[in-house]
Structure 1
Amino acid sequence: MSQEHTDPLSSSDDLSRFSISEPENALPRVGLDDVPEMLRAACARAGWTQLMPVQSLALPYLLAGRDIMVQSRTGSGKTGCYLLPMLPHLDPEVRAPQALVLVPTRELAVQVEHEAATLFADAGLRTVAVYGGVGYGKQMEALREGAQVLVGTPGRVLDHLLRHTLDLEALRVLVFDEADRMLSIGFYPDMKEVQRYLPRRRIHTCLFSATYPPHVLKLAGEFMSSPDMLSLSQKEVHVAEVQHLFCRVKPMEKDRVLVRLLETENPASAIIFCNTKANVHYVADVLKGFGYNADELSADLSQNKREAVLDEIRQGRLQYLVATDVAARGIDIPQLSHVFLYEPPEDHESYIHRAGRTGRAGAAGTVISLVDVMQLMELERIAGHFRIALRELPAPSEEDVAAAAGQRLVAILEARFRGLNGLEKVRAARYVPLARTLAGVSADGAAADGENLLLLAMLLDACHQQSLHETRFPDDGGDGQTRKERGRAGRGRRRRESARREEAGGTPSDGGPDAAQPVAAEGTERTGSGKRRRRRSRRSSGGNAARETVGTDE
């Protein structure tokens, strides 16, 4: 297993190319010789001869047990950064999960498990990865054998908690890897549900992400207590936290590539800039035709209509806004994570104006320009003028789009299934034979034909289209769901709480963090006289009892 130490600019001895933001009460940076012996031994097993910059900066905070949000680009050594400090904090004699790493995809779960197996090889610590799309048998067996480190997607972790095959009472460390992707994909409700099973005490919590859009920073406060922020970004002018990307596109393919980018990037919200009103109308119509929650902002709209559109996107009810420079000048959308340039601006200053719509108040953001050969030359001139570091982003393929959309859809469907009651599951089971026929082989052994597969694909697309119009930000309810979804989820939680209480012999609390604070959750029970009386069960609003915050796939 390698860590990109061959690049001299990646070493901890040369941090000059980074723009580094540290907490006010910053801790001294460390080198490999400064860390405990067990960490040096783990690095030696992995073949690491020195620490990466993010490791040199973050390890002191993690070893000290301080809650921290770390921002560093993908491939910079973040995985080793949060795994190494677990060594002195975890007890190999305790055969139960003491560290939980939540990740957005099964591929990342497997990758982290592999790296942990190398680093923890001689430390007596076992790691297990749990994720959707595979059976439960092997995962349950690994959990029974007593793994100290659990890596998993939120949905599958929650499934094991509901099945009572996982207990987090011994948990000491909680890690969110690629936090921006997890929250944008829509795992937030699952993570809040997992949070309810955490011990009623302080858990050392840290977040790692390449970017921290505003909505991620907002939600982080629900899982952490007064966290520190440590940021490493490439030095560039104007907004150091904004990454500037470009995608080579033929002029006639821009609309299709834009749609693919929206699927693979899955922005929390975005502005798509065009140079003309005609292109604004065209692009908005294309996005609406694909089912996206989009609208346009141009000089043709009345002031009242323009204010209404802006209010929609500020409140998270509108995801994509298509606009010209004139229409969008001066608008401030705090939750904006992405800016797309359907075509480069006609002057240098307009690029800075467009890029400045994201990365507001020090938050991270992404600017993606769609350019043909001639437009790329102009974009490079703009970048040279302002000393902006441009990076090429390959145009996503249809396979990339299918994988990204499918990943989100599986998470959505699994979450909905968990919210069904017994009768609803029985009702759904009636269609299993039909689903089997549509997806694979019918009862007479005939293979599914193309039309059957298209019928199934049509149903999945309908579910995907519905998800496109769900709010991307938690409202005052704080869970990112619609009012109808919150009601359904609340009923599901109450059913699960009732089942757990019955198993525990009527104990009113499930042992999670929910007993920390009372929240109204109505239920009914029979008294000795046979009459019904109302009672209110105790739930927390999340988090560990030591904290004052509201709280911490497939």
Structure 2
Amino acid sequence: MTEQKKRQLNTFADEHTDVSTGILNQKQEEKEGESVQKIKEQALTDEIQQNAGEQESEEDEELNMDEVIELPNEIPTNSSLIAGVLVVDEKGGEADLAESFDAMGLGEDILKGIFSLGFDKPSPIQMTAIIPLLKGRDLRAQAQSGTGKTAAFGIASLQSVDQRLKELQVIIMETTRELAIQTCSVLQGIGSSTNICVEAIYGGVRISESLDKVKKRPQILVGTPGRLLHLIEMKQLNLNHVKLFILDEADEMLKKGFLESINLLYNKIPNKQIQVGLFSATWSKEEQEITAQILNDPVIISLKDEDQTLKGIKQYYVNVGDKRGASVDMTKFEVLCDLYDRGSISQSVIFCNKVERAINIQKNMIERGFECEIFHSELPQEVRNDVMKRFAEGKCRTLVSSGLLARGVDVQTLSVVINFDVPQEKEIENYIHRIGRAGRYGRKGTAINLVSADDMEMIKKYEKHYNTTIIPLPSNIVESL
């Protein structure tokens, strides 16, 4: 990082902004070996052998991005509209596009991992984000959870690693422990045929556990800000070879006051040409202005917010009437129990606005004979990890949660989200983060909002804000859940 950039960096930190970064111009080495077709066939063979005897799942309905995105009237001269994704290159020129994983210049070992996980065709965010990252460009991408953004920066991160060098080369920062664990798992899956070591470090566990992972000499480290900075201050991380920094859920980082931690981390990285990728589901105007100051000629990718997540999700509400206080909660709870009595819900999450409410609902549902577990911020980290593991494996079918689960956590079989409490206006973005847990990657999902007469105003605001429709829940729908 140049002295001028460092001065700018410190200025931005004082003004509650992020950090400055440069461009890493990195050449991608071409590998010879098996043809892509052979890799696909081998990956498919491995998958069949691993899953012999299991039922095949129905094919997912493909998300047609050209139908989803409303095209703007005018496209800037330095922009391209690709598969419904607006790509702006601040250096000018045409945007890079790869319509298949085969065309991305990826190593055969990484391709094998991609195909073995069931990825066949890249999603729009993957088509447009991977190549710029591989070319060393700074990047700011706006894409909802469920569109494949984790795999996008994960594939680019894995490909950028020099597998011969057993040193830390990529840092991925996540807002929560759960996201760090999940992102690490995705990268380990994609990189399963490589020699790349990927580890996750996070708070809430003994520092010795994190140190044990560092001793494995990971080339990619996924972590939360506090634990990453702690290890750096302990001089336990060698940052001399770090060349790529990915910031996931970047808007949440900015909102939660992690800028100082990011600033300190950057000042410790010797590489003067550190490359940055910022990914988020939403960007406020203020956050866009901040990133405009700290990214160096970035590629900016925008997927239309609501359409990406809402395309495959049917949204309903149940109005319990003009009730107040305990009365409305009791009525909502009876409706909730009726939904589970009448419907055959495979896997679901019930969201509440407060931890205390979540605890009470879980307790009352168990008393009614419904099996369910709870997930909230006050649980010990070990318990949270175990709950998420059981939920991801399908051993837990119903989860009552505070808003902690709303962002990023990906459970493929989750099909129904119930808002026992709807997010209020100051947290309106949480609505899409919550219901986005269902309908992942274009799969069909259902969102049910339990509301009082007073809450109906929020339903109207959701419809206006996301340009969507939320209708009363028909009785015949319940049986088909």
TM-score (norm 2): 0.51
1:457-488 deviation digits (Å, cap 9, x = unpaired): xxxxxxxxxxxxxxxxxxxxxxxxxxxxxxxx
**Conserved? CA contact 1:42–1:84, under 8 Å:** no
Closer, same or farther in 2 for the Cα pair 1:142/1:378, shift >3 Å?
A: closer
Matched, 1:168 2:239: yes
**Conserved? CA contact 2:106–2:159, under 8 Å:** no
- Residue 152 (structure 1) aligns with: 223
- Residue 255 (structure 2) aligns with: 184
**Conserved? CA contact 1:65–1:204, under 8 Å:** yes
- Residue 296 (structure 2) aligns with: 225
1:263-305 deviation digits (Å, cap 9, x = unpaired): 99xxxxxxxxxxxxxxxxxxxxxxxxxxxxxxxxxxxxxxxxx
- Alignment equivalent of 1:252, drawn from 320, 324, 338: 324
Matched, 1:23 2:88: yes
- Residue 492 (structure 1) aligns with: none
Distance 2:223 2:269 in 1: 15
Distance 2:114 2:295 in 1: 29
What root-mean-square deviation, in Å, do the aligned CA atoms of Structure 1 and Structure 2 show? 4.3
- Residue 109 (structure 1) aligns with: 180
**Conserved? CA contact 1:110–1:129, under 8 Å:** yes
Closer, same or farther in 2 for the Cα pair 1:374/1:177, shift >3 Å?
A: closer
**Conserved? CA contact 1:341–1:370, under 8 Å:** no
**Conserved? CA contact 2:175–2:253, under 8 Å:** yes
- Residue 452 (structure 2) aligns with: 372
1:408-423 equivalences in 2 (<5 Å): none
Consecutive unaligned residues in structure 1, runs of 5 or more: 265-337, 343-368, 393-554
Distance 2:288 2:159 in 1: 29
1:257-276 equivalences in 2 (<5 Å): none
Matched, 1:127 2:202: no
**Conserved? CA contact 1:103–1:152, under 8 Å:** yes
TM-score (norm 1): 0.45
- Residue 326 (structure 1) aligns with: none
- Residue 7 (structure 1) aligns with: 60
Shift of 1:373: 5.6
- Residue 126 (structure 2) aligns with: 55
Closer, same or farther in 2 for the Cα pair 1:389/1:30, shift >3 Å?
A: same
Residue-pair matches, total: 284
**Conserved? CA contact 2:163–2:196, under 8 Å:** yes
Matched, 1:36 2:115: no
TM superposition outliers: structure 1 runs of 4+ over 4 Å: 245-251, 253-257, 260-264, 338-342, 373-384
**SS state at 2:288 partner:** helix
**Conserved? CA contact 2:306–2:466, under 8 Å:** no
Closer, same or farther in 2 for the Cα pair 1:45/1:252, shift >3 Å?
A: same
1:135-190 deviation digits (Å, cap 9, x = unpaired): 12232122123110000001100000010111211001110011111221222221
- Alignment equivalent of 1:86, drawn from 154, 157, 171: 157
Shift of 1:387: 9.3
**SS state at 1:97 partner:** coil
Shift of 1:32: 2.7
Shift of 1:207: 0.7
Closer, same or farther in 2 for the Cα pair 1:187/1:55, shift >3 Å?
A: same
Matched, 1:139 2:184: no
- Residue 542 (structure 1) aligns with: none
- Tell me which amino acid in the other structure corresponds to 2:452: D
Identity %, equivalent residues? 22
**SS state at 2:302 partner:** strand
Distance 2:269 2:100 in 1: 34
**SS state at 2:295 partner:** coil
Matched, 1:64 2:135: yes
Shift of 1:91: 0.8
Distance 1:112 1:215 in 2: 27
Shift of 1:378: 11
- Tell me which amino acid in the other structure corresponds to 1:32: F
1:486-505 equivalences in 2 (<5 Å): none
1:17-65 deviation digits (Å, cap 9, x = unpaired): 1353211532234223322252422212322122122111222222222
